[in-house]
Amino acid sequence: MLTQAVLKSYLKDMPAGHIFDLTYALFADAFPPGEPDMVARAALRAFAADCHCDLKHNALEGRYELIRR
């Protein structure tokens, strides 16, 4: 199970340009209830910004990409 604290730690240690693939299942673990909840999506956007990451949604593959700036 992925928590926000674990994800934040990982993202902050990533080098610039590195991509973390956050599947919908992992998204639901860290930001319940997950996809397609608008509140969870907003929380993920704020979280990504706080971790200095850009966020890209790949709905066809069922994941989000967090790209370290």
Q: Please say whether the beta carbons of 19 and 61 come within 8 A.
A: no
pTM (2 d.p.) = 0.94
Closest of 50, 52, 59 to residue 22, by C-alpha: 59
Residues 8-27 pLDDT 10s: 999 999 999 999 999 999 99
Say how far residue 1 (Cα) sits from the centre of its chain: 14
8 Cβ contact partners less than 8 Å away, ≥ 6 residues apart: 47, 50, 51
At 4, is the pLDDT very low, low, confident or very high (cuts 50, 70, 90)? Answer: very high
Type of residue found at 58 = N
User: Burial of 22 by CB count in 10 Å (0-12 exposed, 13-18 middle, 19+ buried)?
Assistant: buried
Residues 35-45 pLDDT 10s: 999 999 999 99
